[in-house]
Amino acid sequence: MKHIFEKGKNSSKPTLLLLHGTGGNELDLLPLAGKIDEDASVLSVRGNVSENGMPRFFRRLAEGIFDEEDLIFRTKELYEFLDEAAVKYSFDRKNIVAIGYSNGANIAASMMFHYDDALKAAVLHHPMVPRRGIGLPDLSGSHVFIGAGTNDPICPAEESEELKSLLENAGAEVHLHWENMGHQLSFKEVDAAAKWYKQNI
C-alpha cells in the first residue's frame, strides 16, 4: 500500500496510523498527527481502491452502502500491511492508534470489528457502522474517540450512537464528541480529539 512513514522522537509512544477520507491521500491528515502527538511515529496510508479516480479504502455500492465483500477483503489487507510495516519500520505492532476521517474512519472501525489486536485505540472522525449482524471480538482495553456532527448528512446521529453502543458492548471505552456541524472536520473536533488522546492514551 502506498504510504509515508515518519519516525517519531519517542519510540515508546504509539505509532499514529492516518487514514484519509474519500478522494484524499496519504498527505491529507499529516497536520493532524502533530496536533495529536508531535513525538509519535506516523504511518499514513493511501487507500487501494479508486472510485472515479478518487482513492478510497474499500468499494461502496452507493452513498452509505458498503460493498461488504470488498470491505472484509480490504480490512484484512490493511491489517496484514500493518504487520509488515511494523517489521519493516521497527515499531510496536501492539501500539498503533488509528486516526481516520470518513472512509478512513470506517476502515479503522472495521479493523476493530474484525480483529481484537488490530489497534490499541482509534480516533474516528465521522465514521459509520462498518457492518451489522456480526459478533465483535473482545475489545477490552481499547479506547475510541468518535467525532460526530449533529447535522451530518452522510452519517446521521443515530449511526454514531449505534457505533458507540456496538463498540462499548464489545468492551471498548468510547467517547462520543458532538459538534454542531455537518460532515466536515473542524478545528474544535481535532482539539477535542487531542485532549482525549492526552487523557486516555
Q: How far apart are CA 32 and CA 19, in angstroms?
A: 11
Q: Which of 102, 110, 142, 160 is catalytic?
A: 102
Q: Which of 11, 175, 183, 186 is catalytic?
A: 183
Q: What is the pLDDT of residues 64-93, one digit of tens each?
A: 789 999 999 999 999 999 999 999 999 999
Average pLDDT of span 102-126: 97
Look up the pTM and report it: 0.95
Q: Which residues pair with 108 in a beta bridge?
A: none
Q: Which of 41, 44, 143, 152 is catalytic?
A: 152
Question: If 0-12 CB within 10 Å is exposed, 13-18 middle and 19+ buried, where does residue 92 land?
Answer: middle
Sheet holding 96-101, edge to edge: 3-6, 41-45, 15-19, 96-101, 121-125, 143-149, 173-179
Q: How many CB atoms lie within 10 A of CB 195?
A: 13
